[in-house]
Amino acid sequence: MQTIEVVYSPLCEATGAMIGKLRQWLEGTDVRIKIYPFDRCPQRLKSKFQKSENCFIDIFYCENRIDAVPLHRDRIYAALGIRRAITQEDDESTMPVPAMTSRQLMNAFHAEQISFYPIRPDNYTDEMSMCLCNYPFGNPPRQFHQECMTIKAQVFSEVWALEDIAGIYAKYNGNVIGLLEVMPREILKKYGYMTGTTGKDSAYLSIGCYEIGYGIPRVEMIDLLMQQLIAVFPLFHRRQMEGIGIYEWNDGFNPYWVYEKYGFEKSERLSENTVVMSKMIT
């Protein structure tokens, strides 16, 4: 029997669906799956992650990484020497339809048709609906939604013990179209996301997730979310905030330019093209 080890971060609810699909793909094979959240994985696996990379979900075989997000069934099969069963059906994620152009987005914003909400204990499940029903890389199959929400809810419960809000999200026509999650640094670090390493963890808030709904212009929406986050700065208890900026990835998960535009300054370099940007908030 072969054994693979799966390390995932509960900071991303989509990992719940990836774990579910992985179990389906390997059902009926001689492969045993050991699954660890990042904070409880063996040090021999944790040491495989660089300080300049996030953990989402990573699969190890004989302590070698054989796949990472987004998971690819054929790549996993090849690494394990599994021949794909002819009778096995594809279970692809569903894709939402494109939403709007950049001009349409800005027109909707100026017409106050887009609503922004601080992420709070009474609405965080609404915020999670974007990554379940409007995910930019394909929605998780509905059968895994409850597992996805359970994984992420445990993280939010830790945030509420320290902060009243966890960032901000945007809605248009009843759908969540963007989110910007902010959490205490020690929580993001615990679950495998990049953070700063200088200063006291207990003094910092870290921006962990900057995600935009499918079909929404990413650069413009990223900018709007930061504008709205600044407006709710007084709702946070901690006064220092940081974000991870990656050069030459303007519409990515860790956009450098938006931090520079809104007054964050370089405080640390994690790799050649990845820096920590910090700001005192009032």
Domain 2-80 identical in fold to domain 102-280: no
What contacts 256, CB < 8 A, 6 or more positions away?
245, 246, 247, 249, 275, 277
- Checking if the pLDDT of 84 tops 60, the result is yes
- Checking if the pLDDT of 88 tops 60, the result is no
Using CA atoms, how far residue 51 sits from 41, 158, 246, in Å, is: 16, 23, 13
Where do the structural domains in the chain lie, given as residue ranges? 2-80, 102-280
Do 100 and 217 meet the contact criterion of CB atoms below 8 Å apart? yes
Q: Alpha helices of 71-209 — where are they, by DSSP H?
A: 73-80, 102-110, 124-133, 145-160, 185-190
Q: For the domain bounded by 2-80, which CATH number is listed?
A: 3.40.30
Q: Which of 267, 102, 258 is nearest to 198 (CA)?
A: 267
The predicted-structure confidence for 98-147, as pLDDT tens digits, reads as follows: 678 999 999 999 999 999 999 999 999 999 999 999 888 788 889 999 99
CATH 3.40.630.30 is right for the domain spanning 102-280: yes
Q: Is the pTM of this model over 0.85?
A: yes
> Confidence class of residue 251 from pLDDT cuts 50, 70 and 90?
confident
Mean pLDDT of 33-56: 95
Q: Which of 248, 178, 181 is nearest to 216 (CA)?
A: 178
> Confidence class of residue 231 from pLDDT cuts 50, 70 and 90?
very high
- Checking if the pLDDT of 176 tops 50, the result is yes
Encode burial over 75-94: b for 16+ CB neighbours within 10 A, e otherwise: ebbebbebeeeeeeeeeebe
